[in-house]
Amino acid sequence: MRVFASDVVKNMMGKLGIPEDEAIQNKLISRSLETAQEKIEGFHFDARKHVLSYDDVMTQQRAYVYGTRREVLMNGLDGAKAYLAEIVAGDPEVMAHIEQKIAAIGEEEFYRAVKRLILQVIDMMWMEHLESMEYMKSSVNLRAYGQREPLVEYKKEGLRMFREMKESVQGEILRILPTIGAGAFVKEEEQARKVVKQALEIGGGEGEKSAATPIHSDKIGRNDPCSCGSGKKYKHCHGA
């Protein structure tokens, strides 16, 4: 805060032709500086005071997103059915696509793929929304200089952005829905299993090296990283 006041002092002293190292004894200048300082400190105090109110806005949005995600995740295929029925809203064209897909790959397989699709899209859009809200919170305080209440602006903009996020989630699901086929998300599942398997192998290498497949090669130096992927030197891992 004092840096701001010093800038004001320099500007005023420069305009009045007063050397920077000369003491200020003019009551009018001193009073103006104190008033400016009080306004700036009051502005930042109000910003800190509204932090909790900002968090309340995000808490409401988070409750909706987490609640929706929990219903889809925990209610089996019925959760995916209910959510899809809500966003389709009886659209005859989309309903025709759904019936075709169910006839082609079966109802259970179709809604299992829809469930994964819904969760993935919600997660992706929610992360992007969080970044946008954080950026907006850091910039909305500047609107106070335009005689607009930052908290009111934050709530208004936050509501608009949240509505757009929900529309984007629904639009993206409906866009991808016709492309769902048999074996959807198989690649993602295989990749996830590989990651889990690698993690278990690395974790088991600490105290159960006998369970891991020994890896040995004359081309691997003792101080080189072990090719098993443990991150250790070869001499401290399978070269021990």
Please give the DSSP secondary-structure letter assigned to residue 173: H
Quote the CA–CA distance of 222 and 207 in Å, as a whole number: 20
**Closest CA relative to residue 169, chosen from 133, 110, 124, 130:** 124
- List the structure tokens of 228: 């098993």
CB 236 within 8 A of CB 228: no
Please give the DSSP secondary-structure letter assigned to residue 1: -
Amino acid residing at 48: R
Cβ-based neighbour number of residue 5 at 10 Å: 15
pLDDT of residue 209: 42
Q: Who contacts 13 (Cβ-Cβ below 8 Å, separation ≥6)? A: 19, 20, 22, 24
Tens place of pLDDT for every residue, the chain, 240 residues? 444 445 655 665 566 666 665 555 556 556 666 666 666 665 555 555 666 677 788 889 999 999 999 999 999 899 999 999 999 988 898 899 899 889 988 899 999 999 999 999 999 999 999 999 988 887 877 776 667 787 888 888 999 999 999 999 999 999 998 888 655 555 555 655 666 666 677 665 544 444 444 444 455 666 666 766 566 666 667 666
pLDDT of residue 169: 95
Quote the CA–CA distance of 235 and 201 in Å, as a whole number: 18
